[in-house]
Chains A and B, each alone.
Chain A
Amino acid sequence: MAKKKLKAHHIERTWCKGCGICVHFCPKQVLALDEHNIAYPADPEACICCRMCEYRCPDLAIEVECQET
């Protein structure tokens, strides 16, 4: 199976309510909350494209764009 590589995290900043679910459950600690309590990719290099943050986001604010490598 082809490995997936991150292109970008698209985060709707006005939709994110800063609940921290994505941050808490990210297996690689890619995401963090910024000073406005909004999710952002603090360590995108570590992303393994599992997209669990996207699926668990209750605000539908995250889209993880990946590409096959």
Chain B
Amino acid sequence: MSVKDYIRERFFPHMWCPGCGHGVVLNAMIRAVESLGMSKNEIVMVSGIGCSARISGYVDFHSMHTIHGRALAFATGIKMSRPELNVIVPMGDGDALAIGGNHFLHAARRNIEMTAIVMNNRIYGMTGGQFSPLSGYAAAASTAPYGNIDHGFDIAKLSEAAGATFVARTTTYHVHELSRLIRDAILHEGFSVLEVLTQCPTYFGRYNRAGDAPEMMETYKNRTVAVGSEKKNQDPDLIERGVFVKKELPEYCREYEKVIEKNQQKQT
């Protein structure tokens, strides 16, 4: 098995910019799926709109490219209708948490089994570099020429508060961890959120003088620590990586199956 068994080769080279972290996520996702030994027919990928959303077109799964922010809502219909399918929902930070914020909260609250991968590049890339809800205070963007005054979300805390039963974070630098966490998120029986810090050298990097793709990945290496690390106490600005939440709670589709079992009329 190789990566090429899981992609739609005819669409390569892909449309992402040189050094875009989304390709690294795609790369790790394929290895995660390969390691699980799943049939491609069992996997449905539902995406919204934006650079991140194009990932669904490149994988040889059932793929649905929907409308901006609503991927989780479409995915909820698919999963409720066919709970046996593995549903993966890759989203950008704006897609998941600005226009799609409400759906994100409620999918987490329901604890419906699906894997939400938030590819957080802190910018709207497809439209040319406007600030997103994850850009953070003082970031530069094409719609924040004087510096952003919006504060960013903490995706992990938000997901936990909303009820997600698996919450993790990693970066495109930590590719083994990335692949392992995607695998764990897919295996989790409930709503799982994986935030991946992914570089956008074209817009975020350029506007914020964060360097090229390798330099941005160096930052991920140097400015993140494993969750629970001592270093975080000394340097609170470090970003934690790893699994923040993993717990078992009743899963939505299984709960609904119980409702059906109890109330289904006997066939006469």
Binding site for B on A (CB under 8 A): 12, 14-21, 23-25, 52, 55-61, 63
Selected interface stretch from B24-32, B135-143, B160-168: B24-32
Shortest C-beta distance, B72 to chain A (Å), equals: 25
For B16, the chain A residues whose CB sits under 8 A away are 58
Verify if B82 is at the interface (C-beta below 8 Å from A).
no
Verify if B3 is at the interface (C-beta below 8 Å from A).
yes
Verify if B127 is at the interface (C-beta below 8 Å from A).
no
Interface string of B206-245 (1 = CB under 8 A from A): 0000001110010000000000000000000000000000
For A15, the chain B residues whose CB sits under 8 A away are 12-14
For B23, the chain A residues whose CB sits under 8 A away are 57-60
With both beta carbons as reference points, the residue of chain A lying nearest to B19 in the complex is identified as A19
**Candidates A12, A16, A23, A58; contact of B21 at CB < 8 Å:** A58
Report the separation of the CA atoms of residues A17 and B212 in the bound assembly, to the nearest whole angstrom: 13
- Residues A58 and B19 in contact in the complex (CB < 8 Å), given A21-B217, A25-B217: yes
With both beta carbons as reference points, the residue of chain A lying nearest to B201 in the complex is identified as A19
For this complex, 11 residue pairs linking A to B, each with C-beta atoms less than 8 Å apart, are: A17-B13, A17-B19, A19-B214, A21-B19, A21-B213, A55-B176, A55-B179, A56-B24, A57-B23, A58-B24, A60-B23
- Residues A63 and B2 in contact in the complex (CB < 8 Å), given A15-B13, A17-B19: yes
For the A-B complex, the count of residue pairs with Cβ-Cβ distances under 8 Å equals: 75
- For the residues of B in contact with A, the DSSP-based class is helix
Could you tell me if B213 and A55 are in contact, using CB atoms closer than 8 angstroms?
no
- Residues A20 and B3 in contact in the complex (CB < 8 Å), given A15-B13, A55-B28, A56-B172: no
Report the separation of the CA atoms of residues A60 and B2 in the bound assembly, to the nearest whole angstrom: 11
Could you tell me if A17 and B7 are in contact, using CB atoms closer than 8 angstroms?
no
Could you tell me if B18 and A17 are in contact, using CB atoms closer than 8 angstroms?
yes
Could you tell me if A58 and B12 are in contact, using CB atoms closer than 8 angstroms?
no
Shortest C-beta distance, A53 to chain B (Å), equals: 10
Report the separation of the CA atoms of residues A23 and B24 in the bound assembly, to the nearest whole angstrom: 15
